[in-house]
Structure 1
């Protein structure tokens, strides 16, 4: 879920609009950009002019489909997750900052009066991990129990440091650890860090690097990111040995 930049949003079509011709309550799917709070809460930037936002104003229940099947020869053998929850407007500055860091192009219109951030309070989800691998998940199985505020408060500084001083490490995270192509214009940037991992972006391409343990504070983040850089350098094609340079030691 955290690795997705887009989701299919399903809302209940409102029945008080004549153009819907008595189809109130019908499921209405649309495509939306999505970001996440540190605990995994999905975040949406929606315009009041859009049908899905008008639907939410009348009935906040929503469904979000996250598709992890891209590139598979047999897409139905791949993972997808359907999340059920309630969308509510959010005035939390962190939500807006995390969304715009993940989708910088949205900054062109995020300040318009008709756009607002919505946080989806997840209730349960349906996971299809492949043929025969299907189960329902309760909220506690999908979401983190709380937001580690020490990490949340340090996130902006961590991103600034990594993007300013560790471009090579970010490239290795994306190409070695996340398996993205080394070809392509532009540099990779880190757009978010949370207890489960970090998010990277290069132009319109996104990558997700998962941590092997929960990260709760800035110091743990520093040590974990430095460890990932060492791992990536050792695994990079043509790596001569497992040496660690000063960039690794400094984090």
Structure 2
């Protein structure tokens, strides 16, 4: 049924995902050194956002390194559902024209004695060399993000819905 003259027609702002969108999203993933991490406060269920270091490990796995002292570490343990925002505004112009990628993911702590920890540590220090000061402290843990989907805003009028396959890095 066509919309009535009183009802404005809703326009879907999401464009079909194409190679350019996938390329922008993957560039944001590989270039990000920090991310805004959204978690749920275990006491209230309210959203809580903090900035965390971000990087990619072997096979392009998204990860961070968190201390048990950080509020978000407890929130991640209570509820592993997260959202990550990648992308920084450029030095000039309107910040909303710069690409950014929001990811929906599940956080998984990596056990201190996990066989993969050494490879994660090496990859992490390659991106964040100053973390060598604390990466081996007992209260620090790697957290892997299993990405389920993403939303890419590549600038005004350039929104894309991405699935996990769209975000996989080429091997």
- The TM-score range, normalised by the shorter chain, is 0.7 to 0.9
How far apart are the structure 2 equivalents of 1:52 and 1:35?
17
Residue 72 (1) aligns with residue 100 (2): no
Residue correspondences, number = 138
Contact 2:58 2:119 (8 Å CA) reproduced? no
1: CA distance between counterparts of 2:46 and 2:60? Answer: 28
Partner of 1:82: 102
Find the residue that maps to 2:126 and give its secondary structure. Answer: helix
The answer to whether 1:31 aligns with 2:51 is yes
Pick from 95, 99, 107 the counterpart of residue 124 of structure 2. Answer: 99
Distance 1:32 1:120 in 2: 13
TM-score normalised by L of structure 2? 0.76
Report the structure number with the largest CA radius of gyration.
1
Tell me the residue number matched to 1:45: 65
**Structure-2 residue corresponding to 1:180:** none
Q: CA deviation at 1:42?
A: 1.2
- Stretches of structure 1 lacking an aligned partner (at least 5 in a row): 16-23, 145-194, 196-215, 217-251
* Distance in structure 2 (CA, Å) of the matches to 1:134 and 1:121: 22
Relative contact order: is structure 1 or structure 2 higher (C-alpha 8 Å, sep ≥ 6)?
A: 2
* RMSD, aligned α-carbons: 1.3
- Under a length normalisation based on structure 1, what TM-score does the superposition of the two structures give? 0.53
> Which structure 2 residue ranges, 5 or more long, are not aligned?
1-28
Specify which structure has the higher proportion of helix. Answer: 1
1:2 matched to 2:30: yes
- Deviation of 1:133 after TM superposition, in Å, equals 0.4
